[in-house]
Amino acid sequence: MPKSQKIYVALVLAVAVMLAIFGAVSGKYLVLFCAIVFAVVFPFFCYLEIKKAVKLYFQRISESTGANELELEISFNDDKIVIYCVNSNGTTFIEYKSIVEFVKTKNMYLMFTKARQFVAIDKTAFAETEERKNFLKFLESKIVN
């Protein structure tokens, strides 16, 4: 989820909490009830929207390649990331200066661009811990943001 959307969700939930507090303090239990319901339901709908977007992404992959998964070959050059899609025989280039966010999860490294493209690297792709450390040092030297 983009940072702007996270901020929006946080603000909406903060307003819902303030309304709940106002409803509890002033004895307006209908306001309290509505604020609590909204604070519970709103994140659920956000989750459904994200799930729908991911499903659409994978439907587009299936439509354009005829496969349910993409086989990608990713190489990190000195000036850009090169992504070759074996399924479509197409190549995409991402310059390091376009990367605005780097996320580490339990199993993946994710890099997001300004236009919300992303590159996902499976941590198991590295044979050794030292290889992973060198990769991270390389990216740190290339990614300015």
- Give pLDDT tens digits for 83-132: 998 888 889 899 999 998 888 888 899 898 888 788 888 888 887 888 88
Single-letter code of the amino acid located at 36: I
The H or E element containing residue 29 is helix 29-65
What is the Cα–Cα distance from 95 to 81, expressed in whole angstroms?
A: 6
- Alpha-carbon span 11 to 77, nearest angstrom: 40
Does residue 26 have a pLDDT over 80?
A: yes
Q: At 145, is the pLDDT very low, low, confident or very high (cuts 50, 70, 90)?
A: low
Q: Give me the long-range contacts of 130-137 (CB less than 8 A, separation at least 24).
A: 135/76
Q: What is the pLDDT of residue 1?
A: 63
pLDDT for the residue numbered 2: 66
Q: What is the DSSP string of 96-128?
A: GGGEEEEEE-SSEEEEEETTS-EEEEEGGG-SS
